[in-house]
Amino acid sequence: MAADISGVITLKGTPPPEQFLPLDPLCVKLHGDKKPATRFWNTGKGNGLADVFVHIKSGLKPSDIPAPSKQPVVLDQSKCEYLPYVVGLQTGQTLEVRNSDPVLHNVHPTPVVDGNKEQNLAQLPMGPAVKFVFEKPEILLRIKCDIHPWMFAYVGVVEHPFFAVTDKNGAFTVKNVPPGEYVLEIFHRKGGKQEKKISVGADGIKAVDFKVEVPK
């Protein structure tokens, strides 16, 4: 028996304006007329806040935690940006980083938790994917490209698969959670952390919503 935890995370307040990225000429060409900007406060319908990492912080029994999925989590480099900006990953699961760009990138995860290995791998234009596995939980682990210093992605690494990242409208669903009492934590890189105690029954719970405030 398992249930889904769903909710919407909304932003309260007006965030500072985003900054245009200082792309080099090659990357500018890939974007055409569009000028990409930072993605610190991506909001959508109803001020829903995207790119918030949601996960069960505590309450899981070891027997509730399955082995990591064989399916990799995919991160793509497209037009000199990482897509998506934030992803979730279970410890031991593979993170597959692709390069859809006709330019050279280097993929450089920079963990700060002991046990997670820093690597720096070159990736040829539209070359084969590079793969990483992280052994320790880390929220959020930064991945960067040193050739294009504006390129960042963030990975929420946790010991279980009960996590989600909010979509463009701030909605999330943590799937197949066993019944129990938990602490659900959300983390936004600029908006910080929040947590709520939740109870998951056999039929699931309808909504756990959060409001993230722009720091004053």
Partner 1 sequence: MLTLCLIALGGLVTSREAGMAVPDWPRTYGHNMFLFPISLWKGNIFYEHTHRLLASLVGLLTVVLAVWVWRKDARAWLRWLAVAAVLMVITQGIFGGLRVTEKNPDLGIVHATLGQLFFLTMGSIALFLRRGWLAADAVQSAADTHWQLRLRRVYIVATVFVLLQLMLGATMRHQHAGIAVPDFPLAYGQLWPATDSASIANYNQIRDRIVDWRDPAPVTAFQINIHMIHRLMAGVILTAIAFAFWQTRKHTAGGHRLRTIAGTWLALICVQAVLGVFTVLKNKPVDIATLHVVVGALSLGCGTLLCLTTSRALHSTPTRAVGEETRGGFTIAGLPAIS
Binding site for partner 1 (CB under 8 A): 16-22, 24, 26-27, 38, 40, 103-104, 106, 108, 118-122, 142, 146-150, 152, 189-190, 192, 214-216
Least spacing, CB of residue 8 vs partner 1, in Å: 22
Alpha carbons 163 and 183: distance in angstroms, whole number: 12
Least spacing, CB of residue 76 vs partner 1, in Å: 18
Least spacing, CB of residue 200 vs partner 1, in Å: 31
Nearer residue to partner 1 within complex by CB, 1 or 122: 122
Alpha carbons 185 and 57: distance in angstroms, whole number: 6
Alpha carbons 119 and 105: distance in angstroms, whole number: 14
Least spacing, CB of residue 17 vs partner 1, in Å: 7
Least spacing, CB of residue 149 vs partner 1, in Å: 5
Nearer residue to partner 1 within complex by CB, 57 or 190: 190
Alpha carbons 23 and 119: distance in angstroms, whole number: 24
Least spacing, CB of residue 124 vs partner 1, in Å: 9
Nearer residue to partner 1 within complex by CB, 106 or 173: 106
**Helix, strand or coil, per DSSP, at residue 29:** helix
- Name the residue with tokens 């992280």: 134
Nearer residue to partner 1 within complex by CB, 20 or 168: 20
Nearer residue to partner 1 within complex by CB, 148 or 182: 148
Nearer residue to partner 1 within complex by CB, 157 or 198: 157
User: To 10 degrees, the CA torsion angle through 156, 157, 159, 163?
Assistant: 30
Cβ neighbours of residue 71 under 8 Å, at least 6 residues apart? 93
CB-count exposure of residue 112 (10 Å: 0-12, 13-18, 19+): exposed
Exposure b/e, 146-172, CB count within 10 A at least 16 = b: ebbebbbbbbbbbbbbbbbbbbebbbb
